[in-house]
Amino acid sequence: MNRGLNKVLLIGRLGRDPEMRFTPSGRPVTSFSLGTTRRWSTSEGERKTETEWFNVVAWSNLAEICNQHLKKGSLVYIEGRLQNRHWDDAEGNKHYATEIVANEIIMLDSRRDSDTRSSSSDYTDESE
């Protein structure tokens, strides 16, 4: 039996407003950065904080929902998969990117933190 698993679960805040664009065939795609922060204390009692940043991509209906309802600072739960891409630029230089392709997003902001979003809204990409 040959099986694999590629699953990512993140909770964090958007580092920038979502950016939506369209493929040549007209399919919407939205991208944004997501920061996850962890805090800990050293053995000497010093408090430390570290933030990791991830590039997130959402497609089709989920892309449109992200573009409409998310903004910089939004707190979200994201479920998706890791994807590695590579391309050559006009000068022939190779570029690489690792991103999270979202298939489910739950908005975690409370009603008082969000003027247009509802609390704990759950959206899933039905296209995959």
- pLDDT of 64 higher than 80: yes
Number of C-beta neighbours around residue 118 at 10 A: 10
- Give the per-residue pLDDT at 117: 39
Q: Residues 106, 111, 113, 114: is their CA dihedral positive or negative?
A: positive
- Give the per-residue pLDDT at 113: 53
Residue 12 is part of a domain; what is its CATH number?
2.40.50.140
Q: Does residue 3 belong to any structural domain of this protein?
A: no
Q: Does residue 44 belong to any structural domain of this protein?
A: yes
pTM for the structure as a whole: 0.80
Its domain, for residue 22, covers 8-124
- Give the per-residue pLDDT at 23: 96
**Strand, coil or helix: 24:** coil
| Residue percentage of the chain with pLDDT more than 90 | 82
- pLDDT tens column, 100-125: 999 999 999 875 554 443 334 566 66
- pLDDT tens column, 4-29: 999 999 999 999 999 999 999 999 99
Number of domains in the chain: 1
Beta bridge partners of 11: 77
Q: Does residue 1 belong to any structural domain of this protein?
A: no
- pLDDT of 69 higher than 60: yes
DSSP H stretches of helix in 4-59:
none
Q: Rounded CA gap, 90 and 114, in Å? A: 42
